[in-house]
Amino acid sequence: MKEFRTTVASPVGLHARPASLFSRSAKESGCVVKLAKVNQGQQSEFVDGSSILRVMTLGVKCGDEIIVQVEGENEEAAANALQLLAESNEH
């Protein structure tokens, strides 16, 4: 399993289009992807990163820290792609 922490850079956080891109990438990776939000040092429960609705329910805003867990055959490549998406501010 590959796990990373990163800060979301999109001006709208993981809402609408960025959440859609994230969940689609998670689904297409073929890996199990879980996502949690860190708020004041406390992490939320992990949600299914391939579900746009689950991703949006976390309420991740620009500047929020997230933890992503990726498990599967292509976990290294999937984790790198998801980290780039989360850190991109071009959505």
Active site residues: 15
Dmax over Cα atoms in the chain, in whole Å?
Answer: 33
Under DSSP, the state recorded for 66 is E
Q: Give CA torsion, residues 88, 62, 80, 51, to 10 deg.
A: -110
DSSP notation for 25-63: HHHHHTSEEEEEEEETTEE---EETT-HHHHHHT---TT
